[in-house]
Amino acid sequence: MRFGDHTFDTVHLSYRDHFPENRPRGIAEGWDFAIELPAVLDMLDAVAAGQVQAADARAALLEGVAQLYGPLRCFEGEDEDDQLAVCRARGGCPLCQGERKGWFDGLLDSADRQWARFTAPEEYPFTAGQNGIHETTCSVVARHNPATYARPAGPAYVKALRRYAHSVDSHSGRSDFDGDQDYPRMHSMTTEEAHQWISKNTGPKGGRNCKRCARCSPAV
């Protein structure tokens, strides 16, 4: 650990020691971390001797926490609001930069494809959702799809990724998250694809799992 002109070799900093109830704070600010007492005493001696500044020592300790925060998955123990605050302050976090980024990029790829199909009803005249099949121009489809969609880029992408990564329910098939209504989800199809969809979703009792919209009565 280095700060100022001093280097402290082999300083033991550990996580998951205990949470002191009388000094609560975010984990990124050192809560639930412990450091060996001899190293602390050496640091205090260096500060007392005027060899280093107390602020430098403090910054070095927090840097040690920052280096362990991601690899030890400390963020999993954070309060959700603290987690989001750390992400904003640092311009990212393990949730945004880890596997959930891949999930989000996959969501955008799918949304791009679905939107391209949805906006070409002459090529993809039928659309399937959770409750059955519709004509793509059906008002039910319009109600469940966003009015407009464009793949976010730049700062808009960072904001959308952060919103997704910090709210997605990984136990729901990743379909539930803040802002999920902003992305097209229903699947628009060609006539041939619609026939295949109906065949796949028709149960042994005849249409048990395949419903045709009563509003638009798709002729497929």
Cα atoms found within 13 Å of the Cα of residue 207, Cβ hemisphere only: 5
Which DSSP state fits 212? B
What does the pLDDT read at residue 21? 81
Find out whether 91 and 159 touch, Cβ atoms under 8 Å.
Answer: no
What does the pLDDT read at residue 124? 98
Distance CA 65, CA 219 (A): 62
The whole-model pTM stands at 0.68
Cα 54 to Cα 3, 43, 61, 138, 178: the distances in Å are 10, 9, 11, 67, 42
Q: Which residues, at least 6 apart from 183, have a Cβ–Cβ distance to it below 8 Å? A: 107, 108, 111, 146, 149
- CA 67 to chain centroid, in Å, comes to 21
pLDDT tens digits, the chain, 220 residues: what are they? 776 677 777 888 888 867 778 888 888 888 889 899 998 998 899 899 998 899 988 998 999 988 888 788 887 777 778 888 888 888 888 888 888 899 999 999 999 999 999 999 999 999 998 879 999 999 999 999 999 999 999 999 999 999 999 988 877 677 789 999 999 989 999 999 999 999 888 876 556 667 899 999 998 8
Distance CA 37, CA 8 (A): 13
Cα atoms found within 13 Å of the Cα of residue 26, Cβ hemisphere only: 19
